[in-house]
A = this chain, B = another copy of it.
């Protein structure tokens, strides 16, 4: 159903030879590091090319402009996220208690942010850089929301009045933001934040179960 995973949109030329593909990855890796370290605007195409050991002309043969590098990075993240989600839920789909499920999901997300520090770091900036609508479509989370909405609607098809898309949106964005922000907090506070994120998620999901009646303070 998905497009060929190795087809990065925004790329000028589809490298067919190993050397080209290698170069594209070099460029992407370097760009990722530099975007994180210096910011998108402060990173020059010349510097990316230099650090990637690729002539600037070649860089522009693969990517029509600087923004296309960002696009390609986004696509790469999307693929990685989708894979992780699929793998996790393939295992998780069995009947685990909700609290355990939440635990696992948050931990996995946390791990993802550690493995790919650029994920949020880069795409926060991008909001104000790309043309508005494009940016929204580009937002890497879109695929993840789709995945999660699909999972929830299958697993908990009995929830009433549930808009699975909205729920998935809320989960992805809230968890994503909180865990990402937690990364730059002091260790002790960071742990609290992770714990609170789990509680937030759990209580939110629980609220959808029939026996979860309204309570007052």
Q: Which residues of A contact B (CB under 8 A)?
A: 35, 39-42, 97-99, 101, 121-122, 124-125, 127-129, 132, 136, 156, 163, 165-167, 169-170, 173-174, 177-178, 181, 184, 189, 192-193, 195-197, 199-200, 202-207, 209, 211-212, 214-217
CB distance from A216 to the nearest CB of B (A): 5
Task: Kindly report which residue of chain B lies nearest to residue A161, judged by CB atoms.
Answer: B195
CB distance from A130 to the nearest CB of B (A): 9
Q: Is the CB of A173 within 8 A of B163?
A: no
Task: Kindly report which residue of chain B lies nearest to residue A98, judged by CB atoms.
Answer: B217
Q: Is the CB of B184 within 8 A of A197?
A: no
Contacts of A35 in B (CB 8 A): 128
Q: Is the CB of B128 within 8 A of A41?
A: yes
CB distance from A77 to the nearest CB of B (A): 16
Copies per complex? 4
Contacts of A203 in B (CB 8 A): 203-204, 206-207, 212
Chain A binding surface SS class = helix
Contacts of A40 in B (CB 8 A): 128
CB distance from A29 to the nearest CB of B (A): 18
Q: Is the CB of B215 within 8 A of A212?
A: yes
The 9 closest A-B pairs by CB, nearest first: A125-B128, A39-B128, A98-B217, A203-B207, A166-B192, A203-B203, A174-B174, A177-B177, A124-B127
A124-B124, A216-B98 given; A178·B189 CB < 8 A:
no
CB distance from A189 to the nearest CB of B (A): 7
